[in-house]
Amino acid sequence: VQEEELKRVGLKVTSPRLKVLRIMEHHADSHLSADEVHRLLIHAGEEIAPATVYRVLSQFEQAGLVARHNFEGNHAVFEVEQGEHHDHLVCSSCGRVEEFLDPLIEQRQLAIAREHGFTMTSHSLHIIGLCHHCSETARQQQTANTEGEG
């Protein structure tokens, strides 16, 4: 299956490409950094250099197999391109990435582009903050500090 996909996008089938593609498709719902992809490959018993993983991911990005998102602080993650647009919420504490799609936001962006005479070809929106878990942790720490003062 992965062989076909590589051929379909015009990439030669090589062992590193197959390995990286397999891992990415295994974690199709995840947003993984190049380091995380490398760690997963090592964990799966594959010997592959970090630089190779990075190069293959860049080739996949150019071929449209994966999407790359550059979140704050050089935090670049890759996800399998499934053809369905979505936006992201990014936790600045633990790096967790969640997806959302809001029809109203999508419509407004189109309308804004149109108002400015733009033909929108793409957009990227990500909300930075603390995820549910980290918000809760921060709240508990705050409570503990307040109690300590009193």
Q: Please report, as ranges, the residues that interact with Zn ion according to CB under 5 A.
A: 79, 91, 93-94, 96, 99, 131, 134
* Amino acid occupying residue 63: A
Q: Which lies closer to Zn ion via its Cβ, residue 85 or residue 114?
A: 85
Residues 130, 92 contacting (CB under 8 angstroms)? yes
**Least distance to Zn ion, CB of residue 88, Å:** 6
Closest-CA residue to 46 (of 17, 67, 25, 68): 17
**Least distance to Zn ion, CB of residue 103, Å:** 17
Q: Which lies closer to Zn ion via its Cβ, residue 94 or residue 112?
A: 94
**Least distance to Zn ion, CB of residue 116, Å:** 27
**Least distance to Zn ion, CB of residue 31, Å:** 5
Separation CA 89–CA 85 (nearest Å): 14
Q: Which lies closer to Zn ion via its Cβ, residue 83 or residue 150?
A: 83
Q: Which lies closer to Zn ion via its Cβ, residue 37 or residue 79?
A: 79
Cα of first residue to Cα of last residue in the chain, in angstroms, is 63
Closest-CA residue to 63 (of 51, 48, 81, 47): 81
- Burial of 144 from C-beta contacts in 10 A (0-12 / 13-18 / 19+): exposed
